[in-house]
Structure 1
Amino acid sequence: MLKKILFFLMVLIILTGCSLTGGYDSSKAIKRGDITILHNGVHNLERFEQFLEHLANDQEDTVRVTSYTKEGDPIFEDVHFDGKDIQYTHDNSHDAFGGQDKGQETDVCKNIMSSVNDQNEVEYVLVDCIKNGEIPLFQINEKEAKK
């Protein structure tokens, strides 16, 4: 009986340790400076605005947009401007339910555009991309965009 209890405790400790170190939860993403898309809004939006400023001034910069699936798995979108082109990487390899499309996709784009849609949300879209034409990055409500 003691062996069973010890075994159960060891398994519990191992599982707890794995779950604490294995994930990239939203608090880590926000602390790291990712533009983090959550149900309660966008965090670190000022960092994205800084990136757009650097883009307008032909200054090299990199940002990461992190969103989460319903199950809490992170989806990463890395956007790097080298002073000329925007290198884009979409990484859903951490999505447990991503199916056959899991992995990384890359593209090279020329610019980022924003527009307001019918729901008064500002949409940010990579444009003039070699493979995909346009790639939606994220959208936020217009009030949040003006903060």
Structure 2
Amino acid sequence: MKRVLLTVLLVLIVLTACEAKNRTVDYPVITKSFPEIIEPHNPEQAEQSGDVVVLHGGMRNGDKWNTFMKNVKKKQQDQVRVTMYTIEGGAIIHELIYDGSAIQSTYDNSRDAYGSKQEVKTDICKGIGTMKSEQGRIFYVLTGCEKEENPFWMPKL
């Protein structure tokens, strides 16, 4: 399973490659703050906090993801926090803030045993698209990202 995940991540990195621009980026204004993360941030706590929770084979609070996607299509500001859980139970958190033209993506895998204990990483992306894996699964991905680090991907359920 780890090999499949690593393969999917590698494919996503290649597919979402974008040209870095030599310009200063104004990060989108946060419209509201996300709820505080309650540790150890298990799936039940994440769901109660309003996160879109992605577990192997399922999603909780999927209506929040659908609303976010509709607002992005309508170019209306919105934000969503997506918490994905690894097979081992580690939480990987993505906070996406859409300002009407770009998406600020904040990536935090510090709660995953195989993740980085370093700082949270932020990137600016132009939009959200879909891609199909070699196994035929469809994933949501961020597109046109400036840094190309830690790409966002989420299974389309």
Q: Find out whether 1:65 has 2:115 as its counterpart.
A: no
Distance 1:24 1:31 in 2: 10
What is the TM-score of this pair, normalised by structure 2?
0.67
Runs of 4+ in 1 over 4 A off after TM superposition: none
Indicate conservation of the 8 Å contact 1:60/1:81, yes or no.
Answer: yes
Residue ranges of structure 2 left out of the alignment (5+ in a row): 1-37
Would you tell me which structure has more strand in proportion to its own residues? 1
Would you tell me which structure has more helix in proportion to its own residues? 1
Write the mapping of 1:1-147 to structure 2, written as runs, cut at 5 A: 22-99=39-116, 102-132=118-148, 135-140=151-156, 144=157
What is the TM-score of this pair, normalised by structure 1?
0.71
Distance 1:66 1:55 in 2: 19
Distance 2:153 2:51 in 1: 13
Identity in percent:
34
- By relative contact order (CA 8 Å, sep 6+), the higher-ranking structure is 2
State how many pairs are aligned. Answer: 120
Distance 1:127 1:134 in 2: 12
Measure how far apart 1:104 and its partner are: 1.2
